[in-house]
Structure 1
Amino acid sequence: MFERFTKGARATVTGAVTHAERAGAGPVTEEHLLLALLDQEGSRASFAVTALGLVDRRASVEAALADARRRGGMTKADADALAGIGIDLTAIVDRIEEAHGEGALQGDHKGRRRWTGGRMFNREAKRILEKSLRIALGRGDRFIGEEHLLLALTANPGVVSDVLTEHGATYETVDRALYGDGGTAQDRKAG
C-alpha cells in the first residue's frame, strides 16, 4: 500500500511518527496523523485545511485533542450520552486525577515493545491508512495523497473526527474544499 503514497502522504506519515516521538507517545495515533497534516504546506490537503480555518485555529484543535486525551479518549458524544443518564464525566476525571495524578486516563504506552521497522501505529491510525486507500480507489485515483488521509480522518468515527467536526471540517466540507462540487455520490465516505 505504501508504494501508492505520494511524496506528501509519505511526509505526513513520517511527520506523524515525529509528533509521536516528540510527545513521548507509544504508537502513532490518528491525532499524530492530523497534526502532521496540519504541518504540511503546498498540497491540496494543506489548501483545504487552510480554507476551512484549521491552520488558524490549530491551538483550539490541539486543546480539544488534549481534552479528549484527558477524558481517556472518550468523545464529546460519549460524554453527552453519559450526562444524559446523570453521569458527569468531568467530575469523574477530576476525581481520578486527584487520586492517581494528572493525565491518569491518558494511558502510558512507554516501555511497550516496538517492532524493528520503527514506531508502531495503533489500530485506529492503521484504519485511517486503510480507509485512505478505499477513498482513493473510490475516487478512481491510482495514488494515496494527503487529501485521502484528510478525508479518512473525517470519515472514521472517533475523537479526531469529532474535533474536526467541531471545527467545521466534516467529510462533506473537506470534500468540497478539496474538489469543489465535483465529488460524486459514490466516493462519499468510501469504506
Structure 2
Amino acid sequence: AVQLARYLGAEVFATASPSKWAAVRELGVEASHIASSRTTEFEELFREVSGGGGVDVVLDSLAGEFVDASLRLTRPGGRFVEMGKTDIRDAGEVGRRHGVAYQAFDLLQQDPGVIGAMLSSLTELFARGVLQPLPVACWDVRRAVDAFRFLSQARHIGKVVLTVPAAVGRRPAAASKGTV
C-alpha cells in the first residue's frame, strides 16, 4: 500500500511498531510521518504534521479506540477503507458522525474479473521495478505453531510463509508435475 500510494504521488503517513520504523523509512516515508501503532498518539502527531487538516484517505486494519482516532483524523469528505475484520463499523453511521465515506473491504467479496485486472496491473508494476516484493520469512510447516506465534506477536515484516519440505530420499510422481 505504501509503495502504491507513493507511486501515485500521495503524501504517506504510516503507523507501525517502533521496531519496524526503519523498514517504513526504507519505503520512503519521512520520519515525521511515522508514528507508533501501539498508541493513539498518531492522531495528534499526524494532525500537527498535516497542518491541522488531517488526511484524505485512511487504510485501516486496527480496532477500537485506534479506529476512532483514525476516523477523527480523516478530513470531512475523505475516505476510510477498513481492511480489518474485528471492528467493522456501519458506513451510514460513520458518514453521519464523521463526514467520511467508509468502506469495509473484503477481498473475497470482489468480482474475480476485477481481481484479475488488479493483479495484471500489479504484475506490470513489479516487472517495471516500480514495486518491490515484501520481505518473506519462510517457516517449515512442521514449525507452524512457532510461525503463528511469531506472526501473532507482530514481530515480522512482510509475509510469513509455511514451506513443505521435499520428501527425503524419494520423489512422488505427482511432485514432478507441480505443487503437491
TM-score bracket, normalised by the shorter chain, equals under 0.3
Which is helix-richer, 1 or 2?
1
Give the TM-score normalised by the residue count of structure 2: 0.23
Larger Rg: 2
What is the TM-score with the length of structure 1 in the denominator? 0.22
More strand by proportion, 1 or 2? 2
